[in-house]
Structure 1
Amino acid sequence: MEEEKGKEILIVDDQRGIRLLITDILTGEGYQVSQASTGKEAVEQVNNKSFDLMVLDYKLPIIDGKKVLEILEKDGREIPVIVMSGMAENISAEIEKIKMVKKIIAKPFNIKDFCMQVEEVLL
């Protein structure tokens, strides 16, 4: 578990409670966590800092998760992404061809499973 220490993760969700929950979980696992509440904020943060992983909510106001992925891909950003969605089965065909997307997690999710998914992507 030691090798994960210091990995930078960006959490993008418009729901403050979910951002705080995921931040608590991941900082407890030893990761460095940043937060963004909008797609625009997420793109700005990725352009200003390098992250090892982004946990991205699919349904965001103004710039949704898919658009965030398209912008980052167009800009040549290579960042592994875990997409969270309440409609995971509906969106998978739409976004699985985006190579940054490593996993799609259905909300609500099991915390233990979530941590395992994060660890898998970061290995």
Structure 2
Amino acid sequence: MSEDCLFCKFIVRDIEPDVVAESELALAFRDINPQAPTHVLVIPKKHVATAAELGEHPGDLAAVVALAAQVAQDEGLGAGYRLVTNTGADAGQSVFHCHFHLLGGRTMAWPPG
């Protein structure tokens, strides 16, 4: 855990997010600025800054993807959903605790931006 990390504070509930689901290794909560009808962030409970770092922890990566799939099912996103992560400031990452955006509930355009 990192003491100055917002998402680490969510994990230990120093700040209470709108939790959707949780597993031993991952946490899912609603985004405060949703970009789709369903917009949930899924994070590893282990503090890693980026998806590139998360790749060094395959069990945690698998837990994040599995929890995202569970949330998508629970949220009724059977028609499809997008799971995306930004890696680095130039890609738009603003919180440096790896997180995946689970977006659904509407048709997604391509290219995304």
Which bracket does the TM-score occupy, shorter chain normalised?
Answer: 0.3 to 0.5
More helix per residue: 1
The structure with higher relative contact order (CA 8 Å, sep 6+) is 2
